[in-house]
Chain A
């Protein structure tokens, strides 16, 4: 109070801090903006038909509109949406159950955390191969089932890879994303959840009411953010559906890849345009996830 300079001093220091932070981040920022932004710019340019190598140079939105009106695109879009939505939903539901069950154990056994952190480091491709190895008609489960007499021959095993319902793809994603969502939820439950549950109990909420009115609202922002990130990832990922999907219809990333690498250079802008549409979806999901997180922080739910 007595020192009139105190306020200005603090403000100057904070501004200086922000400035030096920007300087420190600059190299990384330049790499990100340069590589990603440059790529995006070139991509948009090519998507708009600027492809001098193929004799195209006039810019137009026709490739985008052609992509939109292509029935194959819409089928692919539907398939991608279906896979991403079902994987996310199944993983989210299982994660909620797992997090609730584990939140009691984690305090006693630190190993629980570790067990869940390991799958995070395994690449999707490895999981996809493992899934292939396990559940394909020539896979382990089929042979075991045949050996046990459950089915006549391994070939009778239900088709779960390269199948109509994309079961193999979904299984891969579910297996891979459950630990991610579960760990996010566990963090929240560890922080605020347990004390609030005690409060709920003494305020006469029964087990279901505590789940409905305390647990769900507490984990909702984290669950929403984690699910959106998973959704964005599965929507835009290429390798798993490429390996475990059918040749038709294919998911959007595979579709984009096929077009982009087509020997017909004229297909290339459509591949790019598709890629940009995917990027748009992913960006929207990530921005929404960020907004959810920020809103939750503001309310004091720790994330």
Chain B
């Protein structure tokens, strides 16, 4: 049982600042994804929470108790690393029982706990295997079991699936989700994969270059990005400049009525997701449609991505329509309700 609270964490490697003013609260039993590109500082934050690194400033609280100055072995948090990092000189059950043994649990208790966790992580029958005889997925499950068996208040996972192949990854996601909700263990799940972050948790925290840029539900981050960088990270390619005037956002692509009237007369930036732009190929002139020419296309399976040149600029469109070709004349509609105007 544990709520995790990270307050104002600032972290340096030597004199190099890596993470600045990081704040995050995770409720007891909640799983939050910490999402960010490689090098953003995700692993660094996990190591600080685990106690393997000390922050320059800030505090870590578990259930309201500051643990910032406690060494990792005194913190009720366990970390799972990107690589399984199993002990090669121990078999599977010895690996899993390691933490229990260090804690001084009796052999009986260890055996019972290990048997239970082997079943939970679908490793039954593999207890006596040597670790180098296991597949990558099995090894990562042993690493998971080795952490879970300690029943820590906080579970920290650092891209545990990034070394697995795609099919296995999906299976492991389901397994982790199932176990996490069954045990109700407070979890900070790190990933660089936006789709993974969105499907793994009710809340996602986006980290860019050591700074927390937005925390919210997957839908919020996806459809209501806080700023252009967040939008760009989630594949938003279309940015439109304009000016607010009397409840209308005036742009080169046309006027868009907006609900909340704010910042009258101010310049603003807006975005619209490629899949939210409607593309039609019949050329009859319609009042709210923009004429354009297809520059190039790319087939992406479920949809085709098209770069469309309009008189007022280029827009990227993701359309289920097939048979588009370069040079083709098309019309685009930008539904006003899909336009996201960034606050100043």
Contact = CB atoms under 8 A, between A and B. Distances in A.
A195 B81 contact: yes
Interface residues on B, range: 20 to 34
A202 B81 CA distance: 11
Interface stretch (B95-103, B200-208, B231-239, B289-297): B95-103
A198 to B, nearest CB: 5
A201 B71 contact: yes
A217 interface: yes
A217 B87 contact: yes
A299 B150 CA distance: 26
B88 A300 contact: yes
Contact of A204 (B83, B99, B130): B99
Contacts of A220: 89
Contacts of B131: 300
Interface string B61-99: 000000000011100011101010101111000000011
Given A209-B102, A299-B132, A202 B87 contact: no
A219 B150 CA distance: 27
Contacts of A196: 85, 87
B102 A203 contact: yes
Most buried by B among A204, A217, A301: A204
B50 interface: yes
Contacts of B146: 203
A80 B71 CA distance: 48
Given A198-B52, A300-B131, A300-B132, A203 B78 contact: yes
A204 B88 contact: no
A141 interface: no
B77 A202 contact: yes
A205 interface: yes
B72 A201 contact: yes
A199 B132 contact: no
A192 B132 CA distance: 14
Contact of B88 (A192, A202, A206, A209): A192
Contacts of B90: 217
Interface string B215-254: 0000000000000000000000000000000000000000
A8 to B, nearest CB: 27
Nearest to B77: A202
Contacts of A200: 98, 102
Interface string A264-303: 0000000000000000000000000000000000111100
A75 to B, nearest CB: 40
A14 interface: no
B89 A218 contact: yes
B145 to A, nearest CB: 12
Interface residues of A, number: 22
A299 B98 contact: no
Nearest to A201: B72
B274 interface: no
B121 to A, nearest CB: 16
Interface in B15-67: 47, 50-52
Interface in A185-242: 192, 195-196, 198-206, 209, 213-214, 217-218, 220
A201 B51 contact: yes
Nearest to B156: A202
A200 B132 CA distance: 19
A299 B130 contact: yes
Contacts of B99: 203-205
Given A199-B81, A202-B79, A299 B89 contact: yes
A299 B88 contact: yes
A206 B103 CA distance: 9
Contacts of B147: 202-203
Given A206-B73, A299-B132, A201 B52 contact: yes
B85 A202 contact: no
A214 B89 CA distance: 9
Contact of A301 (B88, B98, B150): B88
Interface string B281-299: 0000000000000000000
Given A204-B73, A205-B73, A214 B78 contact: no
Contacts of B132: 298-300
B102 A204 contact: yes
Contact of B150 (A198, A199, A203): A203
Nearest to B130: A299
A199 B85 contact: yes
A282 to B, nearest CB: 28
B102 A202 contact: no
A139 to B, nearest CB: 46
A191 to B, nearest CB: 11
Contacts of A300: 88, 131-132
Given A201-B73, A203-B99, A203-B146, A195 B85 contact: yes
A65 B286 CA distance: 112
A213 B97 CA distance: 12
21 contacts: A195-B81, A196-B85, A198-B52, A198-B79, A200-B102, A201-B71, A201-B73, A202-B50, A202-B73, A203-B78, A203-B98, A203-B150, A205-B99, A206-B102, A213-B101, A214-B87, A299-B130, A299-B132, A300-B131, A300-B132, A301-B88
Given A202-B72, A204-B99, A205-B102, 15 more contacts: A196-B85, A198-B52, A200-B98, A202-B50, A202-B73, A202-B79, A203-B147, A204-B72, A204-B73, A204-B103, A206-B102, A217-B89, A298-B132, A300-B88, A300-B132
Interface of A: 192, 195-196, 198-206, 209, 213-214, 217-218, 220, 298-301
Q: Which 3 A-B pairs have the closest CB atoms?
A: A203-B99, A201-B72, A217-B89
